């Protein structure tokens, strides 16, 4: 797919690369709800080098996927070289480099957001991608410092000079993880400093109001969604349709949940899929009108038959008080609608 010099069109909504989440089944659920631009899971370069067969499943692309990017994370130069060579054997629209992941198991290896704090090291790694990748390049970063904007600008400028066509900026520092204030003004500064690069805003978008805020305060038209899409693939339709958005009915919601898990079973086999699906189901059921005691059963689902029985029970368990709550809060997020 060719979209000019920038990877994404105006007003693009992009599903972030989420480790342990954005596999083919997850992306299909999101695409059913309006997602066009998506990424594989974040792929560790060492894993792709040493355990290629096990890691290659994360590179699987559906025949129906119009746009798919792949994201690598790592700090070892030789592993990065080998990983890019593996990725080059596949078909992607964009190769992204992660300089924003804050989780300890990534940071302790000097990768992700930790690497992003060391500009020279980060650019040396990105230069390897630039010299070997057959795909257009982008990068996902976090702001380096809340009080010293120049540190973030230095990193972004260096990435642009090495050929990044897009830079996604998460507006929080590494220590903030995924909560707290999003520093919109720093994302805006990167966008204004780099007009030749597409700057994508990221951080804290969980519904229409926060989406409109991040766009207006950063000036970015393209926005990347991460945790806001967990258990809520309809967010893509909501942000696209704005005031005209119709939330899913309970039946439509059940249909997507059921299809998502059944596809996981087809991909991974029953035992592995059900183990992986528990966190997916916890996300889907969050804030949807089910008692905590009932949702706790998700953690003990082991078979497809148990999953089917759980969904049947869920239809009976949905709380009538949920409808009164959403009627009294017309802007609440993750809402369902009556038939």
- Tens of pLDDT along 34-50? 999 999 999 999 999 88
For tokens 């996604």, name the residue. Answer: 168
Alpha-carbon distance of 295 to 298, in angstroms, equals 6
**Domain containing residue 309:** 250-322
In a domain, 339, yes or no: no
**In terms of domains, do 140 and 209 share one?**
yes
In a domain, 117, yes or no: yes
Tell how strand 198-202 and strand 164-170 pair up: parallel
pLDDT by position in tens, the chain (length 339):
344 589 999 999 999 999 999 999 999 999 999 999 999 999 999 999 887 777 778 999 999 999 999 999 999 999 999 999 999 999 999 999 999 999 999 999 999 999 999 999 999 999 999 999 999 999 999 999 999 999 999 999 999 999 999 999 999 999 998 998 999 999 999 999 999 999 999 999 999 999 999 999 999 999 999 999 999 999 999 999 999 999 999 999 999 999 999 999 999 999 999 999 999 999 999 999 999 999 999 999 999 999 999 999 999 999 999 999 999 998 889 999 987
**In terms of domains, do 222 and 146 share one?**
yes
CA distances from 196 to 6, 32, 93, 218 (A): 9, 33, 19, 16
Residues in CB range of 10: below 8 A, 6 or more apart: 221, 222
In a domain, 134, yes or no: yes
**In terms of domains, do 221 and 256 share one?**
no
**In terms of domains, do 192 and 283 share one?**
no
**In terms of domains, do 214 and 103 share one?**
yes
How many domains, the chain? 2
Domain boundary among 219, 244, 269: 244
**In terms of domains, do 225 and 272 share one?**
no
Alpha-carbon distance of 8 to 205, in angstroms, equals 18
In a domain, 132, yes or no: yes
CATH number of the domain within which 29 lies: 3.20.20.70
74 within 8 A of 43, measured Cβ to Cβ: no
């Amino acid at each position: 797919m060719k979209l000019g010099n920038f990877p994404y069109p105006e007003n693009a909504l992009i599903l972030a690369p989420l480790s342990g989440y954005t596999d083919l089944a997850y992306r299909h659920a999101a695409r059913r709800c309006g997602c066009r631009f998506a990424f594989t899971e974040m792929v560790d370069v060492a894993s792709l080098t040493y355990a290629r067969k096990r890691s290659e499943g994360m590179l699987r692309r559906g025949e129906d996927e119009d746009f798919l990017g792949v994201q690598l994370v790592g700090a070892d130069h030789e592993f990065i070289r080998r990983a890019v060579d593996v990725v080059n054997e596949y078909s992607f629209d964009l190769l992204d480099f992660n300089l924003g992941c804050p989780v300890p198991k990534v940071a302790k290896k000097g990768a992700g957001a930790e690497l992003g704090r060391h500009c020279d090291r980060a650019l040396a790694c990105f230069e390897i991608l630039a010299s070997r990748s057959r795909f257009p390049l982008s990068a996902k970063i976090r702001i380096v410092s809340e009080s010293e904007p120049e540190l973030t600008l230095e990193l972004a400028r260096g990435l642009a000079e090495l050929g990044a066509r897009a830079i996604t900026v998460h507006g929080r520092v590494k220590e903030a993880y995924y909560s707290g204030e999003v520093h919109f003004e720093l994302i805006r500064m990167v966008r204004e400093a780099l007009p030749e690069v597409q700057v994508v805003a990221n951080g804290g978008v969980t519904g229409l109001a926060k989406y409109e805020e991040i766009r207006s305060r950063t000036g970015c038209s393209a926005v990347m969604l991460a945790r806001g899409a967990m258990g809520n693939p309809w967010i893509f339709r909501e942000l696209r349709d704005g005031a005209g958005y119709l939330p899913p009915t309970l039946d439509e919601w059940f249909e997507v949940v059921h299809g998502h898990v059944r596809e996981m079973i087809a991909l991974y086999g029953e035992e592995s899929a059900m183990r992986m699906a528990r966190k997916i189901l916890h996300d889907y059921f969050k804030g949807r009108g089910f008692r905590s005691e009932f949702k706790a059963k998700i953690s003990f689902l082991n078979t497809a038959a148990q999953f089917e029985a759980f969904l049947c029970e869920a239809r009976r368990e949905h709380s009538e008080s949920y409808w009164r709550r959403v009627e009294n809060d017309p802007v609440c997020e993750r809402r369902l609608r009556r038939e």
